[in-house]
Amino acid sequence: MWATRPHVDIPGPPTWPIIGNVLDLLEDPVTLHKFRDFHRQYGDLTRFYVGPKLVIMVAHPDDVQHVLVTSKMVERDPLTTNVMRTIVGDGLLTLNGSRWKTHRKLINPTFHSELLGNFLEAFHEGGLFLSERLARDSAGGAAPADVHAPAFFAALRSICSAATGVDPDRLIPDDVAEHEVSAMVADGMTLMQKMMVRPWLRSKLLLRLTSQGRAIFKYYAQLRERVEEVIAMRSAAKEEGPAKTRRRLLETLVKPGGQTVLPVSEVRDELVTMALTATDTTAVCISYVLAVLALHPEWQDAAHRELKDVFGEGDDYLRAASIAELASLRVLESIIKETLRLFPVVPLIPRMVTEDIWLSRGRVLVPKGAMLAMVPFLTHRLPQFFPDPLRFDPSRFLEGRGDEDHPCSYLPFGLGARNCVGSQYARLEIKVFLATVLRRFRFLPHSRWEDLEHTALTITLHTVKPIEVYCVPLQESGL
């Protein structure tokens, strides 16, 4: 395989026989600093090998557009899908071809924009849960709080309600240690990264010999058990529920009496995938937003002023937000967008080259069989599209981006046919959670900017150190 590996006229680090550039990727964990260094040294297209596998890192939006939009390249490379399948099974993250198209066609309508209003109650309850946990963990602002753990469980409760209609208290036991599960998810993301460059870890048998592997398999086994309980509850139903609930993900995949539109194992894996992707990504984004606002009090003040303008300052200030009120929170939305520019929750978007493709405006031929890795973390920081790119400046989005901006220079939820299926769901949930907690707390910094930048290159963006902030209750809080 090494002797017949594909070649390409793209610069990259020197390779070793057989192992390629694996030695460059063995740090534990591999951080985005590595890809940033590659980009500085070799440019917008960088070539490296994972064993005989040719991987090309793509940063310029012209090439991003050609790969994700123009070419309609949707297949994910086995280097990533086989690793993810070991843990989450067969869902939208891991499937290709006709099976992926079938799943996507079924799931798309369950996150349609016209249904977003049905999710508001679940989002509001999740925001209250997050506020209560932050108040508890911060001891009135005296101690720094790890944001990811409560945000993860708040999002988990929301997806339980929104996607299945089941009371989250029935699915999430009271004795679950939230911080342990949060750490387990982060460990699982790092483990998947290791598996990509350590082939022996792709064996479930060998993986179970490690303490980390056993712990992660135990957690995901518990998650699958809970999902199977949900499927059983739905299967036991005698008839359809009210019409407004019939487009929930669970009602779409499982009919009364137990009939499923997909094999039962794929229904289970899809629900597990949604439980993971709809929770960790939200928790990561919330963590970054609160940490960045703590470090930029002028923008936190602007968000607080906007919230008071929209919700008033009376007894009704802490009411549940309506769709119209959320739509008017333009400052908060720009803060979210700028945070996702600097810290996209999905830092890498892989594609398998299914046929030869020309990049760099027709100057570079990438052969079939290579893997293309779009890196939003780099694309979002190109100075020709975002002047002074390392500066946190939500005003970039406050007035709307101009016509001169490249349409593919900003892709926090991906682009093309395989973009995030729940992007509108996620945007609304994040905004509700933040509108809820910002009306109750002022956030002060504990994590430094350097801590936020020191991130592991995993399926979702995770800092090497937990993100922590001080949560100071506001007088009108009344949790």
Q: Of 33-37, 80-84, 345-349, which gets the smallest average pLDDT?
A: 80-84
Instruction: Please give the single-letter amino acid code of residue 91.
Output: G
At a CB cut-off of 8 Å and minimum separation 6, what does 304 contact?
A: 438, 442
Nearest to 456 by CA among 335, 284, 341: 284
Query: 58 forms bridges with which residues in the sheet?
Result: 45, 374
Strands 53-58 and 364-366: unpaired
**Band of the pLDDT at 113, cuts 50, 70, 90?**
confident
Which of the given ranges, 35-44, 211-220, 459-468, has the highest pLDDT on average? 35-44
3-class secondary structure, 397 = helix
State yes or no: pLDDT of 475 exceeds 90. no
365: left (phi over 0), alpha (psi -120 to 50) or beta: beta
**Residue 203: what pLDDT?**
83
Instruction: Please give the single-letter amino acid code of residue 101.
Output: K
CB 109 within 8 A of CB 252: yes
Task: Count the Cβ atoms, other than its own, within 10 Å of residue 268.
Answer: 23
Whole-prediction pTM value?
0.94
**Band of the pLDDT at 353, cuts 50, 70, 90?**
very high
**Residues of the chain above pLDDT 90, percent:** 64
**Band of the pLDDT at 351, cuts 50, 70, 90?**
very high
Between CA 108 and CA 105 the distance in angstroms is 6
Average pLDDT over the chain reads: 90
CB 321 within 8 A of CB 435: yes
State yes or no: pLDDT of 213 exceeds 90. no
> What six digits make up the tokens of 64?
């991003």
State yes or no: pLDDT of 434 exceeds 60. yes
At a CB cut-off of 8 Å and minimum separation 6, what does 266 contact?
A: 89, 90, 91, 99, 103
> 371-383 pLDDT, tens per residue?
999 999 999 999 9
**Residue 243: what pLDDT?**
58
CB 51 within 8 A of CB 321: no
**Residue 175: what pLDDT?**
59
CB 358 within 8 A of CB 9: no
State yes or no: pLDDT of 49 exceeds 60. yes
Between CA 233 and CA 246 the distance in angstroms is 15
**Residue 218: what pLDDT?**
85
Averaged pLDDT for residues 400-419: 85
Q: Of 5-9, 181-185, 341-345, 415-419, which gets the smallest average pLDDT?
A: 181-185
**Residue 211: what pLDDT?**
85
Averaged pLDDT for residues 183-189: 81
**Band of the pLDDT at 65, cuts 50, 70, 90?**
very high
Q: Where are the alpha helices (DSSP H) in 198-314?
A: 204-207, 211-235, 249-253, 264-295, 297-311
Which is higher by pLDDT, 46 or 167? 46
Averaged pLDDT for residues 35-49: 96
**Residue 173: what pLDDT?**
63
For the chain, domains (ranges, CATH) are 80-346+395-473 (1.10.630.10)
**Residues of the chain above pLDDT 70, percent:** 95
CB 353 within 8 A of CB 66: no
CB 468 within 8 A of CB 46: no
State yes or no: pLDDT of 38 exceeds 90. yes
> 233-286 pLDDT, tens per residue?
888 877 666 655 557 889 899 988 888 999 999 999 999 898 888 899 999 999
Q: How far lies 395's CA from each of 301, 361, 401, in Å?
A: 14, 32, 10
**Residue 402: what pLDDT?**
57
